[in-house]
Amino acid sequence: MGEFISESSSMYVDYSKEFSGIERGKDGTMKMTQPFCSKKCLCFFAAPFFTIYTVGYLWLTSWGTSQHLNTKETPLKTILLWNQFFSTKHFGYGIGQDPFLKAQCPVHTCNISDRADGPLHAGVEHFDAILFHMIDKSIIELQQDMPDKRSAHQRYIFFLQESPGMHATPVKFPNFFNWTVTYRRDSDIYIPYGFVTAGQKYPDAKSPNPVFTGWMVPNYSRLEKIKKVSSKSKLVAWFVSNCYSQSRRISYVRELSKYIPVDIYGDCGNLVCPRSKEDECYQMLNTSYKFYLAFENSLCKDYVTEKLFNVMNYDVVPVTYGGVDYTVVAPPMSYIDVLKFESPKKLAHYLKYLDKNPVEYHKYFWWKKYYKVNTQNKHVLCKLCEMLHDSRIPPKIYEDIEGWWRPKSICRAPDIKDDYALNLNELVEPSQKEKICIIQVGSVAIRSTGELNLSQEIGTLF
């Protein structure tokens, strides 16, 4: 960070000495002792001078009152990443001040450091905020690796995008965390996997906002036919790698596939499209399929992941299954909610109906003219930096973070009938059947192959 020069520094020059007829008084003000020019030339010089002065003054004033530009009033706030975000380096954000500048944050005088990068430039007690990624594995490790010092001004931040339905380890850190950053809307900082916001043709278009809820009434009057939809030859696809989830979604799909073809890609099916070629997989989906199963692994409040938002960027209708209120996160007639149908059989009949009726199917794309999907979460950096600089935010601490994170009503049990319950042996290769170990921890389903490492298995589920 650059050095600042004080007003008493000799670098400040007294320009009054450069002009004749001007003297500095005892009170420090400059006074004119003789006319600078004749009355005729006064107006000639004065008009542009005062114009420039006025414009310059207003510009400098607006510059100075902007939090992110007045570095004298807005000192650099420092943020420390305490542990790892899975295998993603620097939580996927980067380090230094660049992440805030690239995100074009209104307040960007913040700096990120990562403990994994080596020795810190300062003691942990000097950072303004410390982020803790709180998956099961991290919870266990943090109990043995906590900061040794803590200052009163620091904010310890609970950071997690996973749901409690897939992570069983209790978060026993009373009076430890100050703020929360999660997918839940009641978090101190809301970090969704994506969000739908107004597009260019939306009436009174608004700037991107993850809590945007100004849905229009569906307008089918000028519905544009999507050419590529007419050439699609397949109906339903699903990309999935975790076959054992709290939502028991595989059980639902197993029954659904009795009435309509479902192509399953990944560990739970017999088709392959690797994550390393994600873009190609979605292009294949866009070219060949009409519907995609955006099924969540947990039925928890507010929990909706990239499974929905990624596919909304393509000309495919998402079929959703989750615990979120979908009417809040997506426009009407932009998705098909499984829970609105009495059974997988009735859902299959409706999907077939849309397949045979192109006009009705195309109605699910009306919203694309007015909205756009944002899958970036850079806004979390902007919000965090802004909050660290906001002295009006009162002190806060979570006395019982476990009680906040995992109240009894936060996740609900799936309404899966026993007549199409999951037969685990049908989901694995014969050579692996004897190695499968299933553990049910409350509402959490955990699979292990071979030697069981409980903390590792829980921490790697997605």
The yes-or-no verdict on residue 110 having pLDDT over 80 is: yes
The yes-or-no verdict on residue 163 having pLDDT over 70 is: yes
249-274 pLDDT, tens per residue?
Answer: 999 999 999 999 999 999 999 999 98
Question: How does residue 9 score in pLDDT terms, banded at 50, 70 and 90?
Answer: very low
Q: How far apart are the C-alpha atoms of 302 and 152, rounded to whole Å?
A: 32
CATH for 215-374 is 3.40.50.11660
Q: What is the dihedral of CA 403, 178, 162, 377, to 10 degrees?
A: 150
Whose CA is closest to 330, among 340, 343, 317, 342? 317
Whose CA is closest to 416, among 249, 274, 271, 272? 249
pLDDT of residue 71: 43
Whose CA is closest to 235, among 279, 285, 283? 285
Q: Which of 196-205, 287-296, 409-418, 440-449 is most confident? A: 287-296
Whose CA is closest to 275, among 310, 325, 313, 319? 310
Q: Which of 107-121, 180-194, 405-419 has the lowest mean pLDDT?
A: 405-419
pLDDT of residue 166: 86
349-392 pLDDT, tens per residue?
Answer: 999 999 999 999 999 999 998 899 999 888 899 999 999 999 99
pLDDT of residue 238: 97
The yes-or-no verdict on residue 59 having pLDDT over 50 is: no
pLDDT of residue 457: 36
Task: Give CA separation, 65 vs 57, 75, 351, 391, 393, in Å.
Answer: 12, 14, 56, 15, 19
- The CA R_g of the chain, rounded to the nearest whole Å, is 29
440-458 pLDDT, tens per residue?
Answer: 344 444 444 333 343 333 3
List the domain boundaries for the chain: 15-65, 77-192+381-390+394-405, 215-374, 418-459
SS (H, E, C) 142-178: HCCCCCCCCCCCCEEEEEECCCHHHCCCCCCCCCCCC
pLDDT of residue 234: 96
State the average pLDDT over residues 178-197: 95
pLDDT of residue 210: 64
The yes-or-no verdict on residue 312 having pLDDT over 80 is: yes
To which residue do tokens 């519905």 refer? 223
pLDDT of residue 288: 96
Per the model's pLDDT, the better-predicted residue between 14 and 368 turns out to be 368
Residues recognised as catalytic: 162
The yes-or-no verdict on residue 46 having pLDDT over 70 is: no
Per the model's pLDDT, the better-predicted residue between 77 and 413 turns out to be 77
pLDDT of residue 229: 76
Amino acid identity, residue 387? M
Q: How far apart are the C-alpha atoms of 33 and 303, rounded to whole Å?
A: 74
Q: How far apart are the C-alpha atoms of 264 and 249, rounded to whole Å?
A: 12
The yes-or-no verdict on residue 157 having pLDDT over 70 is: yes
Q: Which of 243-257, 319-333, 424-438 has the lowest mean pLDDT?
A: 424-438
pLDDT of residue 226: 67
Mean pLDDT for the chain? 78
Q: What is the pTM of this model?
A: 0.74
Whose CA is closest to 267, among 275, 259, 255? 275
pLDDT of residue 319: 99
Exposure string of 136-159, with b = 16+ CB inside 10 Å and e = fewer, is bbbbbebeeeebeeeeeebbbbbb
State the average pLDDT over residues 395-418: 89
pLDDT of residue 273: 92
Task: Give CA separation, 12 vs 6, 8, 40, 81, 364, in Å.
Answer: 9, 7, 33, 41, 65
To which residue do tokens 């007294």 refer? 14
pLDDT of residue 197: 87
Do residues 446 and 454 lie in contact, with contact meaning Cβ atoms separated by under 8 Å?
A: yes
Per the model's pLDDT, the better-predicted residue between 450 and 204 turns out to be 204
Query: Which token pair is 266?
Result: 């990944």
Q: How far apart are the C-alpha atoms of 27 and 377, rounded to whole Å?
A: 54
Q: Which of 100-109, 117-126, 423-432 has the lowest mean pLDDT?
A: 423-432
Q: Backbone phi, then psi, for 191, in 5-degree steps?
A: -125, 80
State the average pLDDT over residues 68-82: 74
pLDDT of residue 18: 38
Q: How far apart are the C-alpha atoms of 377 and 191, rounded to whole Å?
A: 7
Question: How does residue 125 score in pLDDT terms, banded at 50, 70 and 90?
Answer: very high
Q: How far apart are the C-alpha atoms of 91 and 358, rounded to whole Å?
A: 43
Q: How far apart are the C-alpha atoms of 77 and 66, rounded to whole Å?
A: 16
State the average pLDDT over residues 73-95: 90
The yes-or-no verdict on residue 429 having pLDDT over 80 is: no
State the average pLDDT over residues 77-82: 97
The yes-or-no verdict on residue 433 having pLDDT over 80 is: no
